[in-house]
Structure 1
């Protein structure tokens, strides 16, 4: 089973935690942490039993509970410890600026304190503008013949599902990130031009059956597709298999679609044709500008996934639970939820930004 947050939490006030620490200190020579947890459950009449692990974490942080007891006594930390000091600082800044500054915004506060958001690493790519415009004209000739509901874009991306967030708030001029774990799989997405149709995400790992997926049907449980290749990359066989499944679904619905993909070796299949899919390739070296999924859809999915991962880590910290390494099943679940959370408006805006749809395709959509 994946290590996800599915069990009920035992939430305690700081006073209760100090009581547990005091009892544990007195009983340390006679009782185990399991005994301490059982004693706390009985004595404090906890609705959710305290686990041995929970008791160990509470006792380990005794100094922290003592230091914060006076200002937070009677509170459950999941609500107040997380935000109290930050809220006080922000409210002081707002009160100081009220009546002087025209509008108090987050940008104002950050600029006043020299706080900025820095990317830990990354690189920019340059594309020839003439090549982009020429490629845009070629693709528009293809999209002219289809209503927007029948125009799809498919693209894959490296998905480092244990990678830390790339940005952080800081007063420093630069931030050094930790070395990222090398847990990479491939994530492939497909969306249509008018937004509402998202095909099931395709994931490619390096093993046929990994431990977190043993005994699970991820297609039935999560609505995703999992394949494997030696290096967890897209391959010709996986792409053809995926195309065959999509073609069958379109045949069942009596739909004929235009599928736009980038011009990489695993996608190029000149001798293969499908009854309900017309495969078209975006011009080389233009995909960063012409591919709708690259205009913000993939970025949105990864951002939403990263937020889920960070919030789970924060919840674990403030609930005194161990931090975990995200397993593959949880990564599939969270990223599918992230993909589901991308709105039709975001998708249509990304298609518009790519500039590969003409007015004819819009008119065709209205007629259909």
Structure 2
């Protein structure tokens, strides 16, 4: 008994001696955010201690590289010097770590292959959601396994890793937390026709009971648009090679369209781009508030919940209110939307008092493709009209200036030109198209005399093909149809790799352009003045300096390495200004002759070039 008592006393004394060190250690971890509460158990504290964040490890390596003794970071971060030593031994792996979004620590089981899989998977999910596809957790796991298999098969030295990655439930939970996709994964299935038919009957009774007129009922939906893309198989006969491939991230944006069931009122679209203030906006002093779209931006070019609510308050509410007043209609309206992540279920509750006249009706899950009015040829018709306007602009510019298609595409077509074409295409969507789009959801609102727009769509496609052939492009009807539906196709592993590279390149280019703009913020007049003075100085030195060879070498060097930079700036600004002036002149000319189609212009051009 006495021996046990002595052991207890001895243990208590050891604890009392060690306690200050233990509390100091825990407090240092709490300050670093590794232990939120002092009451955390020893087991949890140990688990946190073992997982030092990559940022802390890199900071330790940086301090040591700058000559800081090991003891200082050990004291600062509350870490043992042996731990610091282990980090320094592994500095090659830590310094070169390129971790996926949300990953803060490097664990042994996380290989670089898994990092790449998660990056590609995030891009794939973004693309699927943009296309309006339903994504379940099982689908994500299957795609992750497929990407991992493709990566290990095509990357030397990684085949042994195939047995490590299982796409388990634990991995999925962590991936969802790191990537932030937990709120957009849907447990969906294929289009539900039975549910859609049931909703159509309910909708009929609802609008009848509430007394809504077709002018008061609106539908909106989002879509992706590749604003700078030709069909994949387009062949340039004059240049004897395929048209250059697209860049999935840089030429894609998101649009939200909205119109009423009577087809006489279209609202300003919401547009989401990957850049808040593109370079062409800055150079042309573009005011985003004056555009024909509501301009928003994020890195994925996605319509988010915040952007949608802003559009409802800043565009939909005020515009519909004015429309109802002008038409002397009762101050009430119905907005029909699907259950996309950007549409909050509590939308009516988030509206300000001024817009309390707006009612919201959500379509059932998995019915968008069946009864969503905007998905019934409206968006498809817009994209065909956009591509017709794009081909028309290609034809006009290359015919008037003698530019090749490649020169036009690279230097004479920007997002600013794309915005003008988007506005034109949306204005050209006919009232008949907007009316007939409601046949499946609300057939009572569509007059019997309103026909389908199949013939109109066919004529637009034929005009696109004709415009393409007039420019020496081999493009078919199937190519145009494929282009319109292309945002719904599945991206391959190679395409996902390219998209990831383009995302990284776009971020680097944005930083480079910002720095370049700071350097190029010199007024044009000042550059011209300095170039003139340099020319005068050069003439003076060449005339009076005795060593002609030295002068020639010095002036050539300065011209090549200094003045050429400013001359390029002047040349680029002059070309951009001329391009805008010519485009505005052609635009005024085309507006003064309404009703002249692209095909008619082609025939007139051919008649002028081949006189009898």
TM-score bucket (shorter structure): 0.5 to 0.7
The match for 2:207 among 143, 152, 160 is 143
Q: Highest CA radius of gyration, 1 or 2?
A: 2
Distance 1:142-1:165 versus aligned 2 partners, 3 A rule: farther
Alpha carbons 1:135, 1:286 under 8 Å: kept: no
* Equivalent position of 2:522 in the other structure: none
Matches within 5 A, 1:166-177: none
Alpha carbons of structure 1 residues 260 and 167: separation in structure 2 relative to 1, 3 Å:
farther
Alpha carbons 1:143, 1:356 under 8 Å: kept: no
Stretches of structure 2 that go unaligned for 5 or more consecutive residues are 1-130, 135-189, 236-241, 326-330, 448-612
Q: Give CA-to-partner distance per residue, 1:258-309, whole Å, 9 cap, x none.
A: 0011101210241424412111111111111111111111111110111111
Listed as ranges, the matches of 1:81-230 within 5 Å are: 127-144=191-208, 145=210, 146-165=212-231, 179-182=245-248, 183-214=251-282, 215-220=285-290, 222-230=291-299
CA distance in 2 between counterparts of 1:218 and 1:161 reads 18
Q: Note the C-alpha offset of 1:189.
A: 0.6
Contact 1:187 1:202 in 2 (8 A): yes
Query: What is residue 299 of structure 1 aligned with on the other side?
Result: 380
Shift of the 163–291 alpha-carbon distance from structure 1 to 2, 3 Å rule, reads same
* 1:347 equivalent in alignment to 2:434: yes
The equivalent of 1:78 in structure 2 is none
Displacement of 1:314: 3.0
Q: Which moved more, 1:340-349 or 1:228-237?
A: 228-237
- Give 1:168 deviation, angstroms: 6.9
Q: For 2:318 and 2:337, how far apart are their aligned partners in 1?
A: 19
SS at match of 1:351: coil
Is the contact made by 2:233 and 2:243 (CA closer than 8 Å) also made in structure 1?
A: no
Q: 1:323 aligns with which of 408, 415, 418?
A: 408
Residue 261 of structure 1 corresponds to 337
Distance 1:147 1:311, change over 3 A: same
Residue aligning to 1:281 = 362
Q: 2:360 and 2:432 mapped to 1: Cα distance?
A: 25
Post-superposition offset of 1:225: 1.4
Per the alignment, residue 11 of structure 1 pairs with none
- For residues 10-25 of structure 1, the aligned pairs below 5 Å read none
| CA distance 1:248–1:311, shift in 2 (3 Å) | closer
**Structure 1 residues 309-363: Cα deviation after superposition (integer angstroms, max 9, x where no partner):** 12222334444213224311111110110010111011111112x232536x98x
Q: TM-score, normalised by structure 1?
A: 0.57
- Post-superposition Cα deviations, 1:114-173, rounded to whole Å, max 9, x if no partner, equal xxxxxxxx9x9963321221222233233333100010001110111012137879xxxx
C-alpha distance in 1 between matches for 2:319 and 2:294 = 14
- Whether 1:236 aligns to 2:300 is no
CA contact (8 A) 2:335 2:361 kept: yes
Q: Considering only aligned residues, what root-mean-square deviation do their CA atoms show, in Å?
A: 2.9
**Corresponding residue SS for 2:437:** helix
Greater relative contact order (Cα 8 A, min sep 6): structure 1 or 2? 1
Aligned position for 1:308: 389
Answer yes or no: is the 8 Å Cα contact 2:332–2:358 preserved in 1.
yes
Cα distance in 2 for partners of 1:135, 1:177 equals: 46
Give the secondary-structure state (helix, strand or coil) at the position aligned to 1:284.
coil
So what's the TM-score if we normalise by structure 2? 0.35
Decide whether the 8 Å contact of 1:229 with 1:235 is kept in 2.
no
- Contact 1:155/1:190 (CA < 8 Å) preserved in 2? yes
How many corresponding residue pairs?
232
Three-state SS of the structure 2 residue aligned to 1:208 is: coil
CA distance in 2, matches of 1:168, 1:294: 27
Partners of 2:247 and 2:192 in 1: CA distance: 34
CA–CA distance in structure 2, aligned partners of residues 265 and 224 of structure 1: 22
Structure-2 change in CA distance of 1:349 and 1:250 (3 Å): closer
